[in-house]
Amino acid sequence: MVRSAFLFIFFLSVAFVAGAQTDSVPQRADTQRSVQPVPRRRLPPRRIPPRPSVRPDSSAVTRDSALATDSLLRDSTRLVIDTNFVPAPLVVAQRFDSILVSRHPFFQFRNPVRRMESVRVRTGGKEYLFYSVAGLLLFFALLRNVFGRYLQDLFRLFFRSSLKQRQAKEQLMEAYLPSLLLNLLFVLSGALFLNLMLRQFKLGLNYSFWLLLLYCAAGLTLVYFVKFLTLKLCGWIFRVGEATDTYTFIVFTTNKVLGIALLPFILLLAFTSGTVYQVAFSLSLLLVGALFVYRYFLSYTSVQRQVRLGFFHFVLYLCAFEILPLLLINKLLFHFLG
């Protein structure tokens, strides 16, 4: 037991002495050694190649040279230099927008397509047709809103064969203002329709649109004013004033209906072309012809009740006072406007 304790103390003292010796040796070595600073390796200065000079005969510039020479596109913190850069001919004047679009970092696309702005020359428009048709439709809309009852009576009595003489005259001829305004509507719509027809047949091209429209309106007004005076004079001479008044009423009532019925066809003829134009052109001529035939039929049936008039004499009247003046007017139009 004593021997074991003695051995334990011996080994413990040996271990303590050995540890003290190993710790003291490195400390003495550190106190004697001096710390020397490590010299920092200095990098050689970076050489920047000079900017490419402008040649007198330069005609193009490369993308790398444009990037290197443009001060607006450089980075503010560092300068990227391409070691494989070969100076190319530099153009004296270059578009700034092409450089900006092709090299700016905010633009991701490349090779933009540049389109030059061209001045568009107006060869011919339809502004005059637009304003004339719009004014005509506005005028009819005002008449429709103000004199709606008169228009209803006009269409109702025009297409009913039982009321054609005294009753129709008493109901419609008493309203002087709407009758006058609807006659004006017929003159305007008829003049515009005739103007479009003349343009279709290549007549009056040396006149302006507004001047030709004025001539057509003046011609219609003159024709029906002379016809009105002639009928009144014939009625007074032959003492058939009631019959001539009835015929005059039927003529001007047909004109009012025709002036309203031509409005959609004028709109189609003014702003369409091709098949739609041909169909509208044919239907408008059929409408005008049908209304004139219907007017002659009403005139014959109405006047025959008051005056003994044979069919041969009525046809003779149509040829002398209706068809022959139209043929003369047609010949004059071809002579002066052709």
| Tens digit of each residue's pLDDT, the chain (338 residues) | 555 655 666 666 555 545 444 444 444 444 445 445 555 666 666 666 565 554 544 444 444 454 445 444 444 444 444 445 444 444 444 555 566 656 655 655 556 666 777 776 665 578 889 999 999 999 999 999 999 988 988 888 887 755 445 565 677 778 889 999 999 999 999 999 999 998 888 888 888 899 999 999 999 999 999 999 998 998 899 888 888 888 998 899 999 999 999 999 999 999 998 999 999 999 999 999 999 999 989 888 888 878 877 788 888 888 888 888 888 888 887 777 76
Position 185 scores a pLDDT of 96
Query: 309, 301 in Cβ contact below 8 A?
Result: no
Q: How far apart are CA 137 and CA 267, in angstroms?
A: 9
Same-domain status, 158 and 302:
yes
SS (H, E, C) the chain: CHHHHHHHHHHHHHHHHHHHHHHHHHHHHHHHCCCCCCCCCCCCCCCCCCCCCCCCCCCCCCHHHHHHHCHHHCCCCCCCCCCCCCCCCCCCCCCHHHHHHHHCCCCCCCCCCCCCCCCCCCCCCCHHHHHHHHHHHHHHHHHHHHCHHHHHHHHHHHCCCCCCCHHHHHHHCCCHHHHHHHHHHHHHHHHHHHHHHHHHCCCCCCCCHHHHHHHHHHHHHHHHHHHHHHHHHHHHHCCCHHHHHHHHHHHHHHHHHHHHHCHHHHHHHHHCCCHHHHHHHHHHHHHHHHHHHHHHHHHHHHHCCCCCCCHHHHHHHHHHHHHHHHHHHHHHHHHHHC
Tell whether 219 and 99 lie within a shared domain: no
Looking at the domain assignment, is residue 38 inside a domain? no
In a domain, 95, yes or no: yes
One domain for residues 207 and 78: no
Confirm whether 234 is domain-assigned: yes
Cβ atoms of 273 and 283 closer than 8 Å: no
Co-location of 97 and 171 in the same domain = no
For residue 128, give both structure tokens: 């005059």
Q: Give the C-alpha separation, 13 to 11, whole Å.
A: 6
Question: Does residue 306 sit in the same domain as residue 184?
Answer: yes
Tell me whether residue 246 is in a domain.
yes
175 with 89, same domain?
A: no
State both tokens at 231.
């009928």
**Rounded distance, CA 296 to CA 118, Å?**
59
Verify that 91 and 200 share a domain, yes or no. Answer: no
The reply to whether 96 and 214 lie within a common domain is: no
Region of residue 334 (left: phi > 0; alpha: psi -120 to 50; beta: else): alpha
Under 8 Å between Cβ of 89 and 61: yes
* Rounded CA separation 231/82 (Å): 102
Q: How many domains does the chain have?
A: 2
Domain identity same for 69 and 175? no
Specify the pLDDT at position 68.
47
Domain span including residue 86: 63-103
Answer whether 241's CB lies under 8 Å from 235's CB.
yes
Is 54 part of any domain? Answer: no
Is the residue at 53 inside a domain? no
209-237 helix and 127-146 helix, angle to the nearest 10 degrees: 40
Spatial CB neighbours of 147, under 8 Å, sequence gap ≥ 6: 175, 178, 181
What is the CB-side half-sphere exposure of residue 224 using CA atoms within 13 A?
20
Report the C-alpha gap between 128 and 224 in whole angstroms.
Answer: 27
Query: Within a domain: residue 30?
Result: no
Identify whether residues 315 and 176 lie together within a single domain: yes
Whether residues 92 and 193 fall in one domain: no
Supply the pLDDT for residue 62. Answer: 46
- What confidence score (pLDDT) does residue 218 get? 94
Q: Do 173 and 293 belong together in one domain?
A: yes
Q: What is the pLDDT of residue 303?
A: 83
Nearest to 248 by CA among 172, 194, 147, 190: 172
Q: Cα angle vertex 70, ends 67, 72, to 5°?
A: 110
Distance CA 237, CA 187 (A): 29
